[in-house]
Amino acid sequence: MRSLLNRSIRESRIPLVLTLMVVSLGLWIVCAKLIVPPVIENAYRGESWSFLNRVIGGQATHPVSAYLQDWEVITVAVFLAGVGFWLVVLVISSPLSWRASLVASAYLVQIMLAVKSLWLVREQINADAVSYIRIAQYYLNGQTDVMVSGVWSPLLSWLIVPWLLVFDDALLAAHAAMAVSVVVFLFGCFCVLRAARLPDIAIIVGTWITVFLSVAWSVLITPDLLMAGLFCCGTSLLVSDKWIANARAALGTGILLGAAYLAKAVALPASALMIIALAGTKVAVYQTSLRQTILATAIIVAGFLIVAGPWIGILSYKYGRLVFSTIGPIQHAIVGPPDMPRDHPDHLRFYRPEPGRISMSEDPTNLPYNYWSPFQSVAYAIHQVKIIHRNAHMVIQYLKAFDWFGLGLVSAILGYLLARPWGKLLQEEPWRLLVIPIVSVVLIYLPVYAGHLYPRQDVRYYWVTFPFLTAASFGFTLHLSGAMFNIRAVQRPLALALVTLSLIVGNEGAFLETFSLSETPSSQYRAAKILANKLRATGLVGSIAVVGPAQMDDRYLAYLLNVQSFGALLKVDDPAEILSSGAELVIVPRGTALAQQLRKDRRFASADKQLFGCNETNENPVEVFLTRLLPASDACPGIGPGY
């Protein structure tokens, strides 16, 4: 009776909370949009209250629009914080249990933070993002000849397509797709924590920590968070005992892992290794029927092929051979022995993209890579062993860095190896099995390009391991504290505090970035945007080539101008190589020897006067040359042949 009364009281609070939410946020919008801007303008002119006049005293250095823009950022931030606050209150006031309320609140807060991040990083871009955005545009425009690529998996581009209908800015649409990806990642992490059979408080803490880290990681437009979330959802079903006896659970596992493959191709071999290892564990340790395990595994494979099979068929048809991705051989080719050039071919010479594409990076499959095999010679085999050793060291550094003490990696390894009695503990404490998906992912990267420690952008390859490392660290520390302390009041709080501290301190930068209210535009993208606007304004729009360390990614400029880029080379031996590329615009760093050489070459014409004016040229870091002649009146004095 009392529980029913409490439930009815909670349900009656919901209309009141909704009313307070609408009224308070409505008043804030009215105040922020109608009242404050005129006050700022008056204070800028010195006609408001004296203390406001002193606060806004930058008339000599900042226009009033800068202050209004700052206020707009504050308005959005406070509005989002208010929405998040009231949604949390709404969840707490609902008839859900306190555990379910805290988990639901985590999703709501994550959505608010993701929307805030989406706005602040709307001019943040990375090289991979250009390809995903362009492929999404090809799907939207029905360009069937260029929408399929063996290098870029399709799911992120598919996710961007509907957002292209919402936003005019394709980059903003891509960030919106990343906001969806972080929610998928959070759900995958929650599924892993729950499947590990951790205490409720550990699940809640792990979920909330993932909220903040995933938002910070979503700045990069890549499919890694999306793949990780789907992979973790599928793995959580594998770790449980359901998939052996329940055909529906096995089919769902295959479908989720197939969707993970559509997000990023590495999920296919990683899933294969993980399924084999976990199925073998079921038979060897749990004494599961071999026939039943094989049947369940076949159902998983069937579910996987239902989702992934059509895409594999499309790729195989396109490239004329059975293929699930073309990125793997490329990633292996670029780490080959130094007996010949192993870099991406479009880093060594100019290439014209196929019609409809803007750069070779959209599908470099047919470029002449120098592929190799460790079975070709003893020297190549030794080189492969060195690559594996180097990558293993680097991956260990990446995995240890996910928390301050490196608890996750140590816990995953020791939790599995020290399970005594082995069969009983693996069955009662499934978190000990989570070393298997970690190892499955890592093994795929060991023989190929696996990233660089500096810069640390490539840590994204291993975000998929974070939920498993987190669950293992909670499980192992709770087990260890239970063995060391007899007082239950000490065991759990100590273990939870240790893991939480290690995760927060180890990811301090990500936490600060999550709560930051400052915009973080990409410097290269902003430089490309300024140059693109000038080129468009002067009508000097055409295919481009970049030579030298220009501090500007050619793909950004090509994307903004919707023109083809023939590549970016660090140097050329002869300007004739630039001309043979067919590029109409050549971009080089200002003041370099190449820039001086092109100024004296009659086959090139500097566009300084049209773009920057003769008095501003030295303030611009790059110089643009046309591969056609200009009238003498269009050249700045002292620039060009004869000077």
* Tens digits of residue pLDDT in 98-151: 788 888 889 988 988 998 888 889 889 999 999 999 999 999 999 999 999 999
**Section 47-56 average pLDDT:** 69
- Give counts: helices (H), strands (E), the chain: 27, 5
Residue that terminates a domain, selected from 61, 95, 129? 95
Residue 4: pLDDT band (50, 70, 90) is very low
In a domain, 586, yes or no: yes
What's the confidence (pLDDT) of residue 28?
85
What is the spatial distance between Cα 391 and Cα 449, in angstroms, rounded to a whole number? 8
How many angstroms separate the most distant Cα atoms in the chain?
A: 98
In a domain, 268, yes or no: no
What's the confidence (pLDDT) of residue 5?
40
What is the spatial distance between Cα 619 and Cα 640, in angstroms, rounded to a whole number? 19
Does residue 341 carry a pLDDT above 80? yes
Does residue 91 carry a pLDDT above 90? no
**Of 15 and 369, the one with more pLDDT:** 369
In a domain, 154, yes or no: no
* Tens digits of residue pLDDT in 548-597: 987 789 999 999 999 999 999 999 989 999 999 999 999 999 888 999 99
What's the confidence (pLDDT) of residue 180?
94
Residue 635: pLDDT band (50, 70, 90) is low
In a domain, 14, yes or no: yes
Using the 8-state DSSP alphabet, how is residue 352 labeled? P
What is the spatial distance between Cα 41 and Cα 48, in angstroms, rounded to a whole number? 9
Cβ atoms of 316 and 322 within 8 Å: the answer is: yes
What's the confidence (pLDDT) of residue 485?
72
**Section 515-526 average pLDDT:** 83
Cβ atoms of 263 and 155 within 8 Å: the answer is: yes
Does residue 327 carry a pLDDT above 80? yes
What's the confidence (pLDDT) of residue 11?
52
Residue that terminates a domain, selected from 95, 115, 136? 95
What's the confidence (pLDDT) of residue 498?
95
Structural domain count, the chain: 2
Residue that terminates a domain, selected from 73, 95, 117? 95
Does residue 639 carry a pLDDT above 80? no
What is the spatial distance between Cα 575 and Cα 60, in angstroms, rounded to a whole number? 46
DSSP 489-502: HHHHHHHHHHHHHH
Does residue 52 carry a pLDDT above 70? no
Does residue 349 carry a pLDDT above 60? yes
* Tens digits of residue pLDDT in 17-26: 778 888 888 8
What is the spatial distance between Cα 294 and Cα 290, in angstroms, rounded to a whole number? 6
What is the spatial distance between Cα 243 and Cα 304, in angstroms, rounded to a whole number? 14
> Sheet holding 565-569: strands in order across?
565-569, 544-547, 585-589, 622-626, 605-606
In a domain, 477, yes or no: no
Q: Is the peptide bond before 455 cis (omega within 30 degrees of 0)?
A: yes
**Section 274-292 average pLDDT:** 90
What is the spatial distance between Cα 151 and Cα 131, in angstroms, rounded to a whole number? 10
**Number of neighbours of residue 493 by Cβ within 10 angstroms:** 12
Does residue 496 carry a pLDDT above 80? yes
**Section 320-330 average pLDDT:** 96
| Percent of the chain topping pLDDT 90 | 63
Question: Please, what is the Cα angle at 207 between 202 and 212, to 5 degrees?
Answer: 130
Per the DSSP assignment, residues forming a β-bridge with 544 are 565, 585
CA distances in angstroms from 107 to 31, 116, 179, 219, 224, listed in the order given: 29, 14, 12, 18, 19
Does residue 9 carry a pLDDT above 50? no
What is the spatial distance between Cα 41 and Cα 18, in angstroms, rounded to a whole number? 34
Domain span at residue 621 reads 523-634
Does residue 8 carry a pLDDT above 50? no
Does residue 360 carry a pLDDT above 90? yes
CA distances in angstroms from 72 to 40, 66, 76, 186, 524, listed in the order given: 12, 10, 6, 29, 25
What's the confidence (pLDDT) of residue 618?
62
**Of 224 and 420, the one with more pLDDT:** 224
Residue 240: pLDDT band (50, 70, 90) is confident
Does residue 324 carry a pLDDT above 90? yes
In a domain, 44, yes or no: yes
Does residue 414 carry a pLDDT above 60? yes
Question: Please, what is the Cα angle at 445 between 440 and 450, to 5 degrees?
Answer: 145
Mean pLDDT, the chain, as a whole number? 89
Q: Give Cβ neighbours of residue 290 (< 8 Å, ≥ 6 apart).
A: 283
In a domain, 5, yes or no: yes
Residue 609: pLDDT band (50, 70, 90) is confident
Identify the residue whose tokens are 């989720």.
256
> What are the tokens at 223?
């499919």
- Three-class SS state of 625: strand
Does residue 387 carry a pLDDT above 90? yes
| Percent of the chain topping pLDDT 70 | 90
- Residues 13-28, buried b or exposed e (16+ Cβ, 10 A)? eeeebeeebeeebeee
What's the confidence (pLDDT) of residue 356?
94
In a domain, 441, yes or no: no
